[in-house]
Amino acid sequence: MAANFWTSSHYKQLLDQEEVDVVHQLDREKGITLEDFKLIKMHMANYIGKLAHNVKVRQRVVATAVAYMRRVYTKYVLLRPGVGRKMFWKSMTEYDPRVLAPTCLYLASKAEESTVQARLLVFYTRKIYTDEKYRYEIKDILEMEMKILEALNYYLVVFHPYRALSQLLPDAGMNDATQICWGLVNDTYRMDLILIHPPHFIALACIYVASVLKDKENTAWFEELHVDMNVVKNIAMEILDFYDSHKMISEERINAAMNKLPFRP
């Protein structure tokens, strides 16, 4: 989208893991732990993915929607020289993720030029989740959309690893690993990586993981890139850690976390 990532708000808003891993006071009061917080965000990322599959939008829209969702629940401080600071940070208690998630998809579909009608989202949500806690109406989406726009400070452009991936893979002679890398990148949205690392680093990390999985010797290629391999390897480790811990995540644990959220009246 924007020609230059380095001048973008996305780049300026990158945070450290520790900054992302902070649970809002209001949510803590409801007993939501950091682990719950991460689980709920992952669950919502999955929800967005399922919904997107039903309404048939591109993966890019899903990625943008998930990034929006994660940003809303993350603390950002905007400094306005001479005017003061403004904080953007919403709790799950105030902004019910069960409405926020589909609304993020709704907004992302506009921002990525593949508009989805609100009524379709309402329809498919009812198909996916019979639980009445997931029920919402069109007006809830429209109302939440305004709140999200404000919470995002109207920064709607998100850069994703996909473009970098499609440029890097042929260069690395790894066209045969396109599928696996694409899948890996999709899975990174179940984590907060997009809030923390520049997208091309995420792409490189996925290529790195894929090289290991496919037993492909790529050291020379990575060296020639002159990028900080420590960053790439750290992201790769995070991805592998996530897959490890993911095996232990059960439906019950997700439900337990979700049940701590207050139910909308």
- When asked if residue 19 is in the footprint of other proteins (CB under 8 A), the reply is no
Residue placing its CB nearer to other proteins in the complex, 118 or 174: 118
**Side-chain-side CA neighbours of residue 17 (13 Å):** 8
Q: For the chain, where are the alpha helices, taking DSSP H only?
A: 9-12, 17-20, 25-29, 34-55, 59-72, 97-111, 118-128, 138-151, 161-171, 178-188, 193-196, 199-213, 219-224, 229-246, 251-259
DSSP 102-161: HHHHHHHHHHTT----HHHHHHHHHHH--SGGG---HHHHHHHHHHHHHHTTT------H
Nearest-approach distance from CB 196 to other proteins, in angstroms: 21
- When asked if residue 13 is in the footprint of other proteins (CB under 8 A), the reply is no
Among 16, 18, 87, 154, binds other proteins (CB under 8 A): 154
- When asked if residue 227 is in the footprint of other proteins (CB under 8 A), the reply is no
- When asked if residue 167 is in the footprint of other proteins (CB under 8 A), the reply is no
- When asked if residue 87 is in the footprint of other proteins (CB under 8 A), the reply is no
Residue placing its CB nearer to other proteins in the complex, 87 or 220: 87
Between CA 200 and CA 162 the distance in angstroms is 8
Residue placing its CB nearer to other proteins in the complex, 23 or 69: 69
Residue placing its CB nearer to other proteins in the complex, 155 or 222: 155
* Residues forming the site for other proteins (CB under 8 A): 1-4, 7-9, 82-84, 106-107, 110-111, 115, 117-118, 141-142, 145-146, 149-150, 153-157
